[in-house]
Amino acid sequence: MWKNRVCNIAIIVVVLFSNSTKGQINPLTNFIGVDVSTQPQNSSFNYDSCFILGKNLGMTRGGIFQNWTAIETSPTVYNMTIMDIANIYYPAYNMSVDLTITPIHTNNLEVPSDLTSTPFDNPVFINRFNRMLDSVKAHMPNVTLSSLVIGSEHDVYLGSNAALWTQYTNFYNAVLLHAKTLWPGLKVATELTFNGITTQNTFAQTLNTNSDYIGVSYYPLNTNFTVKPVSVIPTDFATLVGLYTSKPICFYQYGYPSSSTCNSSDVLQAQFISQTFTSWDTYASNIKMIDFTWLHDLDMALVNYYGTYYGLTDPVFLEYLHTLGMRNWSGNGSDKLAFTELKCQAKQRGYNTLPINCTTSLSEIKNNDDIVLFPNPAQTIFSLQSSQELDHAIITVFNSKGQAVKIITKVNAKQIAFDMSDVPNGLYLVEIHSGDKHINKKIVLDR
């Protein structure tokens, strides 16, 4: 539901296997995606700039998302701008493409205006979609499709209406066959929400009878749009794999907000990334790809647009949309803990060779003898001492709920002090960032 539609391009990353792998996922068979279609505040930091961030992770596959109405803007009139760009862009990088086209986008029907009252499995409806696919193929002759996804989170629109599910299933099976004549050997999927694919299991199983991949979107939220604990990931993965034991699973959307309004934080978002990789290792043979949504937070104008589009203006929902990014929106953007964690988790499994220190990622918190943290006798002032000068150090103190209670910035220092007299007793996590260093310390106030 929440996948960004600005540039309609996502990045799937994979590199050749290296000896530095960790766990069970294999860069040759398991693919990491980063939805880079969101951009930061500075317009000069454009799609290509975002693309480089994905490339540095080792990307070799790209993704395109288009509503049917964005392609067929009026009956049999097509806008193929994105396809024409893709036909040049991706072959230049020797990349295949995961293409999503939506007749239904979550809770919105996205079909040409003259077909809005036509049943999905009506021959006229099917033929029009196939004709549109013919044009897409004609405008992308040089692009290799790694998958075609037909529909995005349409279980929200279909609900529990058996007749609509049957119509959509008939439509899907018909256009799936046509697509395979256009792209021999094509892998086809349809994307359902995690809630829909598990609670509407009978409908979903029937719909996915002829799917090559099981497409899913995953945002672990409560009904009020606050986050579920990251500990649900292993159970959710086990549930999904239990339903589809014989077909590869692809998470075409996968995210977790960082806002305290959603009962989350930068730390929890990073822990979401860490737990994901731990659980993915367990199901490496079942889960083929995870596309992390999305690269940057959204600006509020775009948040409000999507709130209107989905018909949801709940402040918690809007803040959820606003903070799904793994990088901040302001300026050229800056990494949140989640993006650092993603880079480290990928590096530890052989997906990249980025020059970053990952020995202190959230999944492997260790003491660092070079940096000492100690309190004064009253436990009100804490002093951080380092054997080497910390350049552009940022110290963030989080409480047990993952909420930032202190942020201290120093340009150059070997010793940094911060006052904790105004916070209550309890357990705190101190995050220290300096250059490529990412260090975690725990402190307990017991005055």
Q: How far apart are CA 107 and CA 308, in angstroms?
A: 12
Backbone angles phi, psi at 423, to 5 degrees: -120, 150
Query: What Cα–Cα distance (Å) separates residue 160 from each residue in 155, 164, 309?
Result: 8, 8, 22
How confident is the model over 308-319, as a mean pLDDT? 95
- Is pLDDT of 206 > 70? yes
Of 216-220, 237-241, 370-374, the least confident = 370-374
Q: How far apart are CA 376 and CA 381, in angstroms?
A: 6
Q: Domain spans of the chain?
A: 9-348, 365-445
| pLDDT band at 263; cut points 50, 70, 90 | very high
pLDDT digits (tens, 9 = 90+) for 404-413: 888 887 656 6
Tell whether domain 365-445 is in CATH 2.60.40.3080.
Answer: yes
Of 191-200, 226-235, 347-356, the least confident = 347-356
pLDDT of residue 353: 92
- Is pLDDT of 4 > 70? no
Q: Which of residues 379 and 302 earns the better pLDDT score? A: 302
Q: How far apart are CA 439 and CA 372, in angstroms?
A: 11
pLDDT digits (tens, 9 = 90+) for 13-25: 433 333 334 458 9
- Is pLDDT of 269 > 80? yes
pLDDT digits (tens, 9 = 90+) for 12-55: 443 333 333 445 898 899 999 888 878 888 988 888 888 889 88
pLDDT of residue 93: 87
How confident is the model over 89-112, as a mean pLDDT? 94
pLDDT of residue 5: 45
| DSSP letters spanning 433-446 | EETTEEEEEEEEE-
Burial of 26 (0-12, 13-18, 19+ CB in 10 A): middle
How confident is the model over 110-131, as a mean pLDDT? 98
Q: Give yes or no for a contact between 288 and 30, defined as CB atoms under 8 angstroms apart.
A: yes
Considering only the C-alpha atoms of the chain, give the largest distance between any 2 of them, rounded to a whole number of Å: 79
Nearest to 262 by CA among 321, 329, 341, 195: 321
Backbone angles phi, psi at 395, to 5 degrees: -115, 125
Residue 360 DSSP symbol: T
Of 122-126, 188-192, 363-367, the least confident = 363-367
| pTM for the whole structure | 0.80
Among 210-214, 275-279, 300-304, 365-369, the range of highest mean pLDDT: 210-214
| pLDDT band at 71; cut points 50, 70, 90 | very high
Q: Which residues of 211-241 are buried (b: 16+ CB within 10 A; e: fewer)?
A: bbbbbbbbbbbeeebebbebeebeebbeebb
pLDDT of residue 344: 87
Task: Provide, rounded to the nearest whole percent, the portion of the chain with pLDDT above 70.
Answer: 86
Residue whose tokens read 């279909």: 158
> By three-state DSSP, how is residue 348 classified?
helix
pLDDT of residue 366: 35
Task: State the CATH class of domain 9-348.
Answer: alpha beta
What pairing do the DSSP bridges indicate for beta strands 371-375 and 404-419? unpaired
